[in-house]
């Protein structure tokens, strides 16, 4: 029994360290996410418009070349001259946005939502409710035979000791045992098992956070953010340079589109 209590003490210290490490990792991951979100918003403001214009011009070129090709092999009506390629009538836009809006997917259930306890009262009330629930389940007067009575009597000894010692956790552990609890398993052993499960869950959380932290650090957004910071130290604005390059490509694409329309 002393060995079990020593293990409990050591494991409680380990859990305290794991909780501190998990909290630190959560803060670091949250900071990384915020930094990358801010950089992504900046990129969209500086570069996003130019990229969208270029993408639209390239799509118009592809569509026009496709139609020119098909016109050689099928009787297709030419595009209306007063309507640019990709034109969507206002009535159709209204229908898509207001009459047929895309379905909204419900958010996935949170895996971290805490489980509601049926004993969500103050500790003294919870202690009494747990004790009464366990007594109704394991009282010796409910025995079906002498062997069952002996089993229930030994188990009630544990329950009474836990109640008299106001050991809420011990009663909770006994209540959570699937099926019937074993009177030969000390409450300390149950507590040790609970702590081991808690430690394992914390370690899994730490591993997941480390993996997420590594993913963010090695992401494309982080690479671009780092390059932008290095360029800024040299007096350059990397995002502005990217936007200017896209604008030049857009101008070239528009000249090509104009030539294609004049054929």
- Residue 217 maps to a domain: no
Which residues are CB-contacts of 173 (< 8 A; sequence separation ≥ 6)? 187, 190, 191, 194
DSSP 122-138: -HHHHHHHHHHHHHHHH
**The pLDDT of residue 222 is above 90:** yes
More confident residue, 172 or 135: 135
**The pLDDT of residue 184 is above 80:** no
Based on the structure, what is the number of domains in the chain? 1
Count of Cβ atoms closer than 10 Å to residue 177 Cβ: 11
**Are residues 216 and 33 in contact, defined by beta-carbon separation less than 8 angstroms?**
yes
- Residue 176 maps to a domain: yes
- Residue 152 maps to a domain: yes
Pick from 32, 13, 58, 3: which is nearest to 195 by CA?
Answer: 13
Round to whole Å and give the CA distance between 153 and 138: 8
Q: How confident is the model at residue 221 (pLDDT cuts 50, 70, 90)?
A: very high
**The pLDDT of residue 110 is above 80:** no
**Are residues 174 and 187 in contact, defined by beta-carbon separation less than 8 angstroms?**
yes
Q: How open is the CA angle 10-26-203, to the nearest 5 degrees?
A: 35
Helix and strand numbers (H, E) in the chain are 9, 0
Give residue-wise pLDDT tens across range 69-99: 787 766 555 555 555 555 555 455 545 555 5
Round to whole Å and give the CA distance between 134 and 172: 10
Round to whole Å and give the CA distance between 242 and 46: 9
- Residue 5 maps to a domain: no
- Residue 162 maps to a domain: yes
Round to whole Å and give the CA distance between 215 and 209: 10
More confident residue, 202 or 163: 202
Q: How confident is the model at residue 48 (pLDDT cuts 50, 70, 90)?
A: very high
- Residue 44 maps to a domain: no
- Residue 201 maps to a domain: no
> What is the reported pLDDT for 124?
86
Name the CA dihedral angle for 151, 157, 160, 166, rounded to a multiple of 10 degrees. Answer: -110
More confident residue, 38 or 131: 38
Pick from 166, 163, 164: which is nearest to 133 by CA?
Answer: 163
With the C-alpha atoms ordered 241, 242, 244, 245, is the resulting torsion angle positive or negative? positive
> What is the reported pLDDT for 218?
96
Of the ranges 42-56, 113-127, 193-207, which one carries the lowest mean pLDDT score? 113-127
More confident residue, 14 or 263: 14
Average pLDDT, the chain: 81
More confident residue, 219 or 261: 219
- Residue 199 maps to a domain: no
Q: Looking at residues 222-249, what average pLDDT do you find?
A: 95
More confident residue, 159 or 207: 207
Output the furthest CA–CA distance in the chain (Å, rounded).
Answer: 102
Domain range for 151 is 123-185
């Amino acid at each position: 029994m002393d060995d079990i209590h020593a293990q409990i003490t050591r494991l409680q210290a380990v859990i305290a360290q794991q909780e501190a490490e998990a909290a630190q990792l959560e803060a670091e991951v949250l900071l990384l996410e915020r930094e990358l979100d801010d950089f992504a918003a900046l990129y969209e403001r500086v570069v996003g418009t130019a990229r969208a214009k270029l993408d639209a011009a390239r799509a118009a070129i592809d569509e026009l070349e496709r139609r020119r090709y098909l016109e050689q092999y099928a009787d297709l009506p030419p595009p209306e001259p007063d309507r640019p390629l990709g034109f969507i009538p206002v009535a159709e836009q209204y229908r898509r946005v207001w009459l047929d809006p895309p379905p909204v997917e419900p958010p996935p259930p949170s895996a971290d939502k805490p489980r509601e306890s049926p004993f969500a009262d103050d500790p003294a009330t919870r202690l009494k409710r747990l004790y009464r629930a366990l007594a109704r389940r394991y009282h010796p007067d409910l025995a079906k035979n002498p062997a069952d009575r002996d089993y229930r009597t030994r188990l009630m000894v544990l329950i009474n000791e836990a109640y008299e010692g106001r050991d809420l956790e011990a009663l909770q552990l006994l209540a959570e045992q699937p099926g019937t609890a074993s009177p030969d398993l000390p409450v300390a052993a149950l507590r040790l098992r609970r702590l081991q499960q808690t430690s394992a869950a914390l370690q899994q959380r730490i591993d997941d956070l480390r993996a997420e932290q590594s993913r963010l650090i090695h992401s494309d957004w982080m690479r671009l953010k780092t390059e932008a910071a290095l360029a800024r130290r040299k007096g350059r604005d990397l995002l502005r340079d990217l936007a200017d390059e896209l604008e030049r490509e857009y101008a070239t694409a528009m000249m090509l589109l104009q030539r294609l329309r004049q054929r």
